[in-house]
Amino acid sequence: MKRKYVQVTEKSGPKTCCIEGCNDVATRSLSIQEYEGGLGKSGLTMATGKATRLVACDRHYKALRKGVKKDKAIEKIRRGF
């Protein structure tokens, strides 16, 4: 029974937010390529450097989205719209 429980949590159980210092349950799985820009902009750091997906709790997902939006806006200005 114990063994089975471990397997379930590893494969499909709830994941913890990948942001450093956050232990909330992750509700979103995001593409790192798309959202890594948002990390710096929001002042957030990932707890693990080798992740292939960015899993974030609701709170950090919102922060990351804000960061990504800002990033895209700046890019637009740099390109001269």
Q: Does 24 bind Zn ion (CB under 5 A)?
A: yes
The CB-of-30 to Zn ion minimum distance in angstroms stands at: 12
For Zn ion, the closer CB: 20 or 75: 20
Q: Does 36 bind Zn ion (CB under 5 A)?
A: no
Query: CB within 8 A of 38, min separation 6: which ones?
Result: 44, 63, 64, 65, 66, 67, 68, 71
Q: Which residue, 2, 49, 11, is CA-closest to 39?
A: 49
Of 15, 16, 22, 27, the one binding Zn ion by CB under 5 A: 22
For Zn ion, the closer CB: 19 or 30: 19
